[in-house]
Chains A and B, each alone.
Chain A
Amino acid sequence: MIWEFNFALFLFLVICAIAAISVRNLLSAVVILGVYSLIMAVLWAEMQAVDVSFTEAAVGAGITTILFVAALSRTTRGSKD
């Protein structure tokens, strides 16, 4: 546990979370959510929870992103409001 490293990761995490809900392009939001999941996976590994980290990397960063993109291909890219 290196607290400077964790602090930087938390900072990136918060930035990614805010960016994912404030960005207008839906594809960008999906990609930022993938980055969020990846940072979260590294944080789980830092907290000695390797199993949870594994699940987060496989499901959160992998399958969820693909399913979001697949769902996005059935709708329009940008938000209308």
Chain B
Amino acid sequence: MKQDVVIRTVCRLVVPFIQLFALYVIIHGASSAGGGFQGGVIFASAFILVGIAFGIADARKRISEKMTVLFSACGLGIYAGIGILCIIFGGNFLGYSFLPLPFPVPEIRGLAAEAVEIGIGITVMAVMTSIFYDMAVDEEAA
């Protein structure tokens, strides 16, 4: 199904800005409004927009079902890995200040919090995209 040229052009123009805004929300989550969850949702909405405008098959070509599973596991691994790393170095789960990095403690805290937010963002993006893939009807197949 070929969509209208206006829809396709606007989607192609808007998608990079949505993704950039999602990355901004994830990175600035610790210090201002936003965070990994919201940024991941916005990032997933970019893929969903591609799926609506160009068809599910095209969106599947950009990020396949296997990739969504891989990404969700990867994000969860980042989150749990940093938490367990803190336990290994003698702190609590996600007790960032015990990480042996060559920075002062507040900077270690900020860096580790950002890394955890990135993990959350990757997982939320992958899971939201895969939910959309499972629920949407492929018009070309039907």
Given A54-B38, A58-B38: A66 in contact with B45 (beta carbons within 8 A): yes
Q: Does any Cβ of A come within 8 Å of B132's Cβ? A: yes
Stretch at the interface among B4-12, B29-37, B57-65, B76-84: B29-37
Count contacts on A: residues with CB < 8 A to the other chain: 15
The B interface is mostly helix, strand or loop, or mixed, namely: helix
Q: Across the interface, do A58 and B42 meet the contact criterion of CB distance under 8 Å?
A: yes
Q: Does any Cβ of B come within 8 Å of A80's Cβ? A: no
Q: Across the interface, do A58 and B41 meet the contact criterion of CB distance under 8 Å?
A: yes
The A interface is mostly helix, strand or loop, or mixed, namely: helix
Q: Does any Cβ of A come within 8 Å of B111's Cβ? A: no
User: Smallest CB-CB separation from B34: which chain A residue?
Assistant: A54
Q: Across the interface, do B131 and A67 meet the contact criterion of CB distance under 8 Å?
A: yes
- Partner of B41 from A51, A59, A71, A74 at Cβ < 8 Å: A59
Q: Across the interface, do A54 and B137 meet the contact criterion of CB distance under 8 Å?
A: no
Query: From residue 2 to 31 of chain A, which have CB atoms closer than 8 A to chain B?
Result: none
- Interface on B for A, CB 8 Å cutoff? 25, 33-35, 37-38, 41-42, 44-45, 48, 52, 128, 131-132, 135-137
